[in-house]
Amino acid sequence: MRTAYRVLLAVIMLALVALLVPGAVPLAGAEDLPAYEPVSLNGESANVIDYQEKTPYAPHEDAYFTEGLGGYLDDTISVRFDTLRRADTDIWLCWVQIADASQLRTATYKPYPSKSSEMANKIAVREKAVLAINGDFFMDRKEGYIVRNGEELRDNYYEGLDALVVDGDGDFYILRAPTKEKFDTIEGRIVQAFAFGPGLVIDGELQTYFPEGNMKPNSRTQRMALCQMGTLSYLMIATAGPEQKNSQGLTMSELAQLAYDLGAQQAYNLDGGSSTWLVFKGQKVNAPGSKKRPICDIVYFVTSEPEEAAEAVE
């Protein structure tokens, strides 16, 4: 049953991927954008992973599929890619569904407060990530309330950078001009807290005010947005920039509009430029062949299904 279930879902997702090829049609309106339907995972074999422990389960080789841009599917995680063009720019979308909130994790190359950096794909392989993106480079700054995998690393509350909070259920909260009092309103356990931003979509509402000087909102560049679509459903948006052939990059407003048009309930801007990494199967998927900047931290997703459990039910 499990094998048939996986094959059926893989066929459906591959059919959706086949509808879009890189640069095929410049998409201008929301009505032309790819839609994401949450994947029903058979998560009976899912395990809660202790945030303070190393990732125990590696991706299963037989869970990868290679048609189109490829993807991944086991009983606890689904990864699917789409591509499009908007504002004369190549854009990569990665949709992720997980069975348990502990499959959304973060990692630093070296323990805080080290500023050591490494290529994101190498950190991702070390952490057994199915899919990884760049983080917020918080180790290069002193500002912000920072939590990683449930551990508070810094409590320098700073209103100049929007905060993204991920709670124990995997839900996102974006705080504008965050203060300690605003963090205290979060009822659940704070598992991750980022200091970067700005928030692009907050509680389903498009944000339109981005102060000049805050992450260069009017510049056209490579960008990365981390979005929540629904319960344990996420979307990563990676854009090319003027460094890449035939792309000019997106402004912050254009990135926010795209996330909103795709249906994001929460969308948050992360580090961009040459720090923009979308890593799958140990390789950089976005803007292949472009300059790669080593970074300090990643956000990543893992399987929570042991290899033995997968083999036992096939």
pLDDT at 30: 56
Q: How many Cβ atoms from other residues are within 10 Å of residue 99's Cβ?
A: 24
pLDDT at 222: 96
CA distances (Å), origin 214, targets 39, 160, 161, 240, 278: 36, 8, 8, 20, 23
Average pLDDT, the chain: 89
The pLDDT of residue 314 is above 70? no
CB contact at 8 A, 227 and 276: no
pLDDT at 31: 59
CB neighbour list of residue 134: distance below 8 Å, 6 or more residues apart: 120, 224, 270, 271, 275, 276, 277, 295, 297, 298, 299
Name the 3-class secondary structure at 162: strand
Q: How far apart are CA 258 and CA 252, in angstroms?
A: 10
What are the pLDDT digits (tens) for 142-179? 999 999 999 999 999 999 999 999 999 999 999 999 99
Percent of the chain with pLDDT over 70: 88
Q: How far apart are CA 200 and CA 177, in angstroms?
A: 14
Q: What is the pLDDT confidence band of residue 12, given thresholds at 50, 70 and 90? A: very low
What are the pLDDT digits (tens) for 255-285? 999 999 999 999 999 999 999 999 999 999 9
What are the pLDDT digits (tens) for 175-233? 999 999 999 999 999 999 999 999 999 999 999 999 887 789 999 999 999 999 999 99
Residue 96: name the closest of 63, 73, 68 by CA: 73
Strand-pair category, 205-206 with 199-202: antiparallel
pTM: 0.89
Q: How far apart are CA 172 and CA 174, in angstroms?
A: 7
CA 243 to the chain's CA centroid: 22
pLDDT at 214: 75
Name the 3-class secondary structure at 209: coil
What are the pLDDT digits (tens) for 13-56? 444 333 333 333 333 455 589 887 889 998 887 899 999 999 99
Q: What is the pLDDT confidence band of residue 112, given thresholds at 50, 70 and 90? A: very high
pLDDT at 153: 98
